[in-house]
Chain A
Amino acid sequence: MRHSAISLISVALCFLVISAAFASYYGQVFQPSPLLNSNMKFWTFDPATNSTEPYLWQIDVIKNPADNVSVYRTVVANRSGVALWVYRSNENGSSVFTTVHLRQDLHGQALDTAFNSTISLWVFPTFSYWYDLRYKNPENVFGIEINDGVNLVWYVFADDQSQVFQFPHHRIVVIQTPLHVWSYRTINIAHEYAEAGWKKPESLSFILILGTTNIYPGNWVSYFSGLSVQTALQRTQTLSTIDFEILVTCNAILMAILFTAGIAIWRRDLK
């Protein structure tokens, strides 16, 4: 009898603990990062381009025939990272910009998380940001592009003073960053969308970008490392009063069943 009572009590306590944990933790969801393989540790071979690229990342290239681009892993100043390299030839081509993009597309839950989080990374720029002094149009870039198909945000990491250039569908946020050293930087996509007065999009591309124009030909390279998204434990919903009452009722029924079973065992043992 004593053993049966201990069993019944332990099972009842187990249910109570799990139920209490359920009521307490319900709705607390840890949002997974919208960016996967964020540190680009894992590279796979893409037979279509006959090259390796970071798993889950897409490499896009805009260039003229005489230009060249590359994305590769490397170690710079004792930190491993990914290098974006562009060679722009002196020849005039159809493309004004020669750029290399490293892209992940976000939508749904991932997009929501990206908008509710800050994104941090280490950057190692090696050249200044140049733009047309009259129209403020960019002439090179190293940074992050947020592209929703209509609007563009560029976070540019360079040694210029921090400033913002706002165009109708293009917002350029220059974040002052010293050249030739690693610097830790954070960005907030939702903040820039709000500042630009743009609506939150249905989907967007998160892009690491390096590019130059025919005004600045030659070799250009810079580096990224330690990309991470600071997601938080979010309480998305709580149990409604009805749900809570159902949970309590279920536990009460269970306790009643266990109590009845206990009495039945006790009476059986008495016989």
Chain B
Amino acid sequence: MRLSFIFAAGFILSEGLQNWIRGDIETHPEVVLLLLITYALAFALFILATMDSEGILRVRELALLSLVLTIIVSWYVITQVEHPGSYQTDALAFAHYSAILFSKGINPYTQDLDSALTMFSVNPQFITLTPTGDLVSTLNYPALQFLVLLPIVWFQLHDARIMVYAAELLSLLVIYYWTPREVRSLVLIPLFAGSDLVINFTAGSVTDFLWVLPLILMVVWFDRPWLAGIMFGLSCATKQTPWLLAPFLLVWFVRDGESHLRIVTRLRNVSTFAASSIAAFVIPNAWFMWLNFSAWYTGVVTPAFGNLVVLSQGFSLITLALGVPLPPEFYLISTVAVGVTLLVNYYVHFEKVRLTLWAFPAIMLWFSYRGLQNYFVFWMPLLVMSAVMFYRKRFVNAA
């Protein structure tokens, strides 16, 4: 616990410096106040971590609370001071604009959403280009991606990043709540190992925590296939990234409990999980599928197979940076080959590697021609949650 205090203090100091740089302190006195509080908090944690007193056990949750406070402070500085009213990704701009259109009864899948780029002052650096030189300006996500933003539109809040931050904070709280008290201090470390996952990406308008939250709940309720299926379906109805988990999850439900469950029971679990997943995926999308299936299909499948320019921190760097002349088709084949290999080995060695499935999508996406950092790091909370549930089963429940 003492080490977690020192870890939290180190993280807070790091963010304090970043907020000092990006906070435009000459013209924003409130940022100065926040910085003073930030540093005071860090020093208080230093002192508490090294005090020879049993009393600090009473404030054991202070590390988490301090980190959450830091997230909120950094969120304020980045979204309200550094980039006020401006989204850093076209994805959130399109999702927010789609929510606005939908609130007016317009099907966003049939619309050109280019107005969103200007409306939300999207940073030109982060717009998505196609090989034809045009910009992506259609909705490329399943419907829940923008449906969850409807409250923002209804309450005229103007900044949809609030919703993503709410999902992030809920994700952190769910993980923390389900973690046995004796290891709670440790669970924060992988999540806050860098500021990208918990601060920079969400503040930078990356919406991935919207699909991470239901997946975390899926891990929590893995023992209840119907509930886990609903959570997986909701996650898949938000973004395409978790789709990659589907075959591995089927293997999980086929092989989990082989020692004490009959095959009929396990097949029933698979069916229940699959049926509830499909239902949870289809329900938010059904209206748009009904209105114009072709537009919906094109919008939802584009990111997976669409014709976008090569951009990656992964394997395709050899093309992007070194100029090795390989087309997206090569990377697609590599991704599929790696995925099939992982799936075969997951099935064969299930008992040893059952919890590694959360790493597989990141590995597969690393081989794709658009392997971006957020495709990798957002699996971290799921790995943590999975490790927590493993610990609970192995040590807490067993005791």
Contact = CB atoms under 8 A, between A and B. Distances in A.
Interface of A: 3, 6-7, 10-11, 13-14, 17-18, 21-22, 25-39, 41-44, 55-56, 80, 228-229, 231, 233, 236-237
B133 A25 contact: no
Contact of B117 (A21, A42, A80): A42
A30 B328 contact: yes
Interface string B330-341: 100110011011
B132 interface: yes
B349 A3 contact: yes
Contacts of B127: 42, 55
Interface of B: 112, 114, 117-118, 122, 124, 127, 129, 131-135, 137, 309, 324-330, 333-334, 337-338, 340-341, 344-345, 348-349
Contact of A10 (B132, B329, B344): B344
B345 A43 contact: no
Contacts of A236: 325
A36 B136 CA distance: 12
A218 to B, nearest CB: 31
Given A18-B333, A41-B114, A42-B114, A10 B327 contact: no
A39 B132 CA distance: 10
B133 to A, nearest CB: 3
A162 to B, nearest CB: 27
Given A37-B134, A231-B132, 4 more contacts: A6-B348, A10-B344, A41-B112, A41-B134
Contact of B133 (A11, A21, A80, A229): A229
A33 B112 contact: no
Given A7-B345, A10-B345, A28-B327, A21 B135 contact: no
Nearest to A44: B124
Contacts of B341: 10-11, 13-14
Contacts of A17: 333, 337
Contacts of A56: 124
12 contacts: A21-B337, A22-B330, A25-B330, A28-B326, A30-B327, A32-B131, A32-B309, A33-B131, A33-B133, A41-B114, A42-B114, A231-B132
A-B pairs with the 9 shortest C-beta distances? A33-B133, A41-B114, A38-B133, A14-B341, A25-B330, A21-B333, A17-B337, A10-B344, A29-B325
